[in-house]
Amino acid sequence: MKDFNDKVAVVTGGASGIGRALVKALLQEGARVVVADVEQKALDRVMAEFEALGDITGVVADVSDADSVNSLADHVFEHYGRCHLLFNNAGVAAPSANIWETTPNDWKWVHGVNVLGVVHGIQAFVPRMIASGEPGYVINTSSGDGGISALPYQSVYASSKAAVSCLTECLAAQLQSQDTVLGASVFYPSGGLLETGIWTTDRNRPGNLAREKPTAPVPSIDDFKKAAAAAGMELSFQDLDELAQYCLQGIREQRFVIMIGLEDAAHTLQQRAERIGRGELPIDEAEVPQM
């Protein structure tokens, strides 16, 4: 897919962060964009901010709920009759902890959004996209944390993103082997630190999935910046608009893996493979910070 003009695109988690940047980039390319997000106020802000850029509609949707995602698909196909680009982008994270100190609700919430959210998107949209006979693409947002190499103290989040990478690989192979006109890519947000809502995802955590035991306050991005400055560290942040444009270019080039700095990821994976080949722990223990 080389041209996004007049194409219908759906972006989950589209009201903030990377999703918002993708929505903006798609509108600038002439796409018709459906923004799906669990936050009504954030959705309203994005709609007001971008309405002058083109055809944009907003739908409140909880990707962890299959019925909600099916309703989203109903809206898209009733309104537009087709979908060319599906960005399964919504994601959340749990506090850093040893696995034995995480809680069942940490796993239910994060995997419900990050993994089942992608599955629900595929199940609701892909059959209709295949039936339409029009070329299309599914882009699933993963993370280098899990998709490439796990941060040990982010086991809940990292394992969810590893699952997204795996299921996207399966999806792409299935779409290809069955001669559909659809493709799939895994998108790894990259290029530096990302100033997104992932730092404050607890704002959307449902009460019925609250943590069963207290945890230390999760540092904000501002706290992280201050701590880094105090330690004399210089942080490198990736511009989200540039990242979104990079993602769209990856779709144009039909890259399965869309990631800035892919050469570094390949080196990391090679080192992990060598450790696995020796029967060793793939994570370098020297790189594991002490909690």
Q: How buried is 35 (Cβ within 10 angstroms: 0-12 exposed, 13-18 middle, 19+ buried)? A: buried
Cβ–Cβ < 8 Å for 283, 212:
no
Burial group, residue 122, by CB count within 10 angstroms (0-12, 13-18, 19+): buried
153 is catalytic: no
CB 125 within 8 A of CB 10: yes
Decide: 28 and 55 in contact? Cβ < 8 Å.
no
For the four alpha carbons of 98, 102, 108 and 110, in that order, the dihedral sign comes to negative
Distance, CA of 76 to CA of 120 (rounded, Å): 15
Contact present, 16 and 201 (Cβ < 8 Å): no
The Cα–Cα gap between 95 and 13 comes to: 20
Classified as helix, coil or strand, 209 is: helix
According to DSSP, the residues that pair with 136 across neighbouring strands are 182
In 3D space, the residue among 115, 198, 127, 119 whose CA is nearest the CA of residue 159 turns out to be 115
Q: Which two tokens stand for residue 142?
A: 């993963």
User: Which is the catalytic residue, given 80, 137, 153, 157?
Assistant: 157
Distances (CA, A) of 79 to 4, 58, 74, 260: 18, 12, 8, 35
Strand segments (E) across 89-226: 136-141, 182-188
Residues annotated as catalytic are: 157
